[in-house]
Amino acid sequence: MMSLFTYGTLADEMAFCCNAISQESIALFWLFTLFVVFSCITLLNMLIGVLCQVVEDNSQEHSKQKMLVDLKTSLEEAFEALDTSHDGKISEEEFKKMRTDPNVLDIFFRLGMDQDAMVQRLNHMQETIFHNPKQEEGGEGLESEGPPRSSSLSFKQFCDEVIEMQMGSACGVLDVQLLAAKVRSEDSKLRNQLIRLEPELKKLLEDDQIQQPPQEKVHTNQSILQQSSSNCEDSMNSSSVRRPPTPMAEAPALQSMPEGEEEPIPFELPGEMQPEAKDSFGSGLGLMESWLKEVPTELLLYTLKSRAGPEMIS
C-alpha cells in the first residue's frame, strides 16, 4: 500500500517503478498504469471541487458585501430625506415616516421580508430597536439588566440593527445564551415580586376574617346547613321509586279505609332501591357530610330541636 501511495498516487520515481514492474510482468505493469490513471483523475476531481467551493464562497461574500453597500446607500438617502431634526440621528417618529417610503420598502424586500408580513415585521423591528421598558407605577418593571436603550440611534447603529434583523441571518450560540440569561433574569424578578406580595395577601385575608362579625358567621353556617339538608332531601326524593298501584288493589283499600283518616303515603324500603337511586342517594349523603363537617355542633343541635317542635326547644 505504501508503494502504491508513493509511486502511484504521488508519482515519486515513476520511471524506476515502471521499469521494475515491467521486468517482472507486463500484466502487472498495465494494471499499475491503470491505477495511476484513476489516482490522477481522483486527485484532479478533488482539486477541482476545492477550487469551486472557494470560488463560490468568495462570490457569495462579494455579493453580500455589495448588497450591504447598496442597502447602506439606500438607507442613507432615505435617512437624509426623513431626518427632520437634522441632528444626524433617527428617532422612532422618523422611523415611522421612513416605513411609508417606497425606496425603504424596497430595501426591506431585498432583506428577505415577505410582502404579506411586511407590516408585522416592521412593527417588530420598531419595537426591538426603539423599545425602552419603563417602570410601572407603584412597582418595579421587568426591564432587562444593562444600560437603557436610547430613543434615537445614529445612522451606523441603525444600519447595524436593520442588517442584523434580516430574515436570512442565522442565530448563533451567543444569541441563544443571551436569550436564556434574559429569561432567567425575568423569571427571578417575577419570583421576587410574588414573594413580596405573598405576606401582604395573607395579611389582607387575616384582617378580613377578623373584621367579619360573629353573627354573620352564624348566619353563614346556618345557610350552609339549610342548603345541605335541602340537597339531601332532593336527592332522597329523586331516589325513591314508587310503584303505580293497580285499580284492583286500590278498590279494597278505599272501601276499608275509615272516614276522617288520611291516605297513607306509599314508600319503599331501602333494599328495594334501584342502583341509580342508590348512587344519587349516596352522593346526597356525601354532600351533606362534607357540609356538616364545617358546621358547629351547637348550631346542629339547635336546628334539630327547632325541627322537632317547640317542646324540645323549651
Q: In this structure, what C-alpha cell is assigned to residue 23? A: 521486468
Q: In this structure, what C-alpha cell is assigned to residue 266? A: 306509599
Per-residue pLDDT of the chain (314 residues; tens, 9 = 90+): 777 777 777 777 778 888 888 888 888 888 888 888 888 888 888 999 999 999 999 998 888 888 778 777 777 777 776 667 777 777 777 777 777 777 777 777 766 666 666 677 777 777 777 765 444 333 444 444 444 445 677 777 777 777 776 656 667 776 787 778 888 888 999 999 889 888 888 888 887 777 655 555 445 555 655 665 666 556 555 544 444 444 444 444 444 444 444 444 444 444 444 444 445 445 555 555 566 666 677 777 777 777 766 555 55
pLDDT at 87: 75
Residue spans per domain, the chain = 2-64, 172-211, 213-239+271-314
pLDDT at 102: 76
pLDDT at 153: 75
Which positions ≥6 away from 263 have C-beta within 8 Å? 257
Residue pair 131/117 in contact (Cβ under 8 Å)? The answer is no
pLDDT at 312: 52
CA distance 72 to 112: 16
171-215 confidence digits (pLDDT tens): 777 678 777 888 888 899 999 988 988 888 888 888 777 765 555
Q: In this structure, what C-alpha cell is assigned to residue 257? A: 279505609
Angle at 293 between CA 289 and CA 294, to 5 degrees: 130
Burial environment of residue 7 by CB neighbours within 10 A (0 to 12, 13 to 18, 19 or more): buried
Residue pair 98/104 in contact (Cβ under 8 Å)? The answer is yes
Identify the sign of the CA torsion 99, 105, 111, 116. positive
Helices (H) and strands (E) in the chain, counts: 13, 2
**How many angstroms from the chain centroid is the CA of residue 64?**
36
Q: How far apart are the first and last CA of the chain?
A: 119
pLDDT at 133: 45
pLDDT at 73: 79
CA distance 13 to 34: 17
Residue pair 292/225 in contact (Cβ under 8 Å)? The answer is yes
